[in-house]
Amino acid sequence: MSTLLHIDSSPLYGRSVSRELTGAFVSQWKASNPDGKVVDRDLNATQIPPINADWVGAIFTPEEAHTPEQKQLLALSDSLIAELQQTDEYVIGVPMHNFSVPSVLKLWIDQIARVGKTFSYADGTPKGLILGKKATFIIATGGIYDAQTQMASLNFVEPYLRSLFGFLGLTDATFLTAGGTMALNHGQDRDAFLAPHLQAVQTHAVATQEGQA
């Protein structure tokens, strides 16, 4: 049975472009995988504390020596990493915030980018441990930051996510971007704006299930 991890990070909910597009991906994925399982993770509905010195100390303490307090500190991280390990495919909605990823997504990344769990230095060099997975990142940006545009150098979302997940071992990643969402605040028809992006997402969702992407 195929499993999909569906992550959203936009705080806008019903007005969110990235949430609408990840929802379209999930719907198409379910149609292609009627017996599949979807694990939903809404980062805005998940209490994720910033890491602190105690948390760092816990991850560098051998598991067999963990105190009850350290086990509690790492419980959320363990749960979030298990979601990555136990699912086959990910779809992650990412609105651009200040040229980078939302703070809630960064908090999640800090919990799942964990030595000995999702990457290792066992042989003296870094090795990703999230292997055999594929991911679709659906990004929504207020402006246009496509390659070769004047604003391209300000887009730190895709380079960061590609580098981070590549470091963790996930190299089968597709990035779909809906740029120019700011137009929706200035009278652009939402359905007309979303139509090509919904089509691109649905086409990609079908292709991934057919082994074509």
Residue extents of the structural domains in the chain: 3-209
Task: Return d(Cα 209, Cα 213) in angstroms, integer.
Answer: 8
Q: What pTM does this model have?
A: 0.95
pLDDT for 211 equals 58
Query: How many C-beta atoms surround the C-beta of residue 54 within 10 A?
Result: 10
pLDDT of residue 111: 98
The verdict on domain 3-209 having CATH code 3.30.2230.10 is no
pLDDT digit string, tens, across residues 88-116: 999 999 999 999 999 999 999 999 999 99
What are the φ and ψ backbone dihedral angles of 186, each rounded to 5 degrees? -125, 35
DSSP 143-208: S---TTSTTGGG--HHHHHHHHHHHTT--EEEEEEEE-GGGGGGT--HHHHHHHHHHHHHHHHHHH
- At 213 the pLDDT is 43
| pLDDT computed for residue 212 by the predictor | 42
pLDDT at residue 123 in the model = 83
Q: What is the pLDDT of residue 1?
A: 81
Residue stretches of the chain with pLDDT short of 70: 211-213
